[in-house]
Structure 1
Amino acid sequence: MLVVQGKHLTAVTPLYSQQFDFAFGPWVEQEADWDHGVDSPPPIDWPRPCCEITFNKATVQYHLPTKNKVTDNHDLSLGQKASNSGRLVTALKSIDLKLSGNPQERRIGIVGRTGAGKSSLASSIFRLIEPTILEEDRLDIHRTSTKRGPILVDGVDLSRIGLHELRSRFSILPQEPIIFAGTLRFNLDPFGKLPDIDLWRAIESAHLTDWVRSTNAGLDYECGEGGANLSVCK
């Protein structure tokens, strides 16, 4: 009996270990304040429809958990270093880039191989990954500029406003569509702030009005997790 119980314990121990690491691992960093930043709130009319975006020596790093403890930094590839919380991977380093706020000058295309940092560039604007400034870059910025945040939009330092204040002012189309288990209304307006007429306008813009009405549930149509009950085009 003890042998059988020991086998079961051996089988489930790694699962509990993984769950513990996920919940309490030091690389799981908490997000910044949702509503209150040092410079909150941003101007009511911010940002402009065609805003100026400045990457000010922005660096993006994230922790990649490792199963095996790394004991020799020489075993790591360039741009990575050992850490108590796993590998610290540098996705973008010291990005100096200014995107004009003039609509006539804005034709932007970012290309690169897989893993080059294209998604990290967009994620850093939304602070899904917090951009930082390396110490050596910070000293240079202090000498040459009064704007010292890693990313500025129309002069506003994104690191100094609340996450909701930032993310509620921008939109992004991800590579993979995200559909939550819940009603169509919830997926279109998760915070319940918009009238139905605005939701129907969005549906009409996507040319899905006939399909939504054909479900008989309308905006209360239940979507499966990840869009399991929806076709790819929908």
Structure 2
Amino acid sequence: MQSTDPMVRISNLSHTYQSRDGLVPALIDINIEIQAGRFVVIVGPSGCGKSSLLMMMAGLLAPSQGTILCSGHSMTSPNPDIAGVVFQEASLYPWLTALENVEFPLSLKHVPKKVRKERAQELLSLVGLQGFEDRYPHELSGGMKQRVSIARGLVQDPPLLMMDEPFAALDEQTRITMGDELLSIWEKTKKTVVFVTHSLTEAAYLADEIIVMSARPGKIIDRIEVDLPRPRKYEMMSTVRFAQLRERIWNQIKH
């Protein structure tokens, strides 16, 4: 029988950090459940703690209080078998080719060379980079570098993919194209995706659900089910419903 437990369960999470002026509350009383296979986007004003929340979900930052379970496991440290992470910067090793960058996490686990090469080639093909396996990062465009990062985040086949503003540094045309490609990858892999962005358009276009956070100290002020049909099409951005979704978010975070 298939488990009905959520892929992500965050309970009573709060976080403070130390500044020169003392303790500063960053996140307050965060409670989230995300079911497997969902594409969930987190938005909020700058400094609201959305990226910190994502890093806690990935086990890269410890909350001050509360618990985080991903696929039933406590995320007190990074676990790439459960959660792959894609950052705003591609962070590729410049001395490694695209193929070698994707292989790298598997090499740390001493996966046989033939197996890891086949897996990396499969994922580079999935993200549309077949034929670029031997290129070094300086030979790739910004969008291509992020595709390599996505492939690397998927190489250990985690059920959960976390993405921290991965397209923020790209131009608008490339950003839209990358959004479409990410949705295609998501539909093929059936991963659970948690995606942080500042872009309200990107949030409405990609998400099954949008989690809206308040200004610091960050708390959840809205959860929006996105009722746009899939597959998503660029033309949807000009519809009344799309504008209503963006306006609902904007009215809550503009102050």
Could you state the TM-score of these two structures normalised by the residue count of structure 1?
0.48
Q: Which has the higher strand share?
A: 2
Higher-RCO chain (CA-CA 8 Å, sequence separation at least 6) = 2
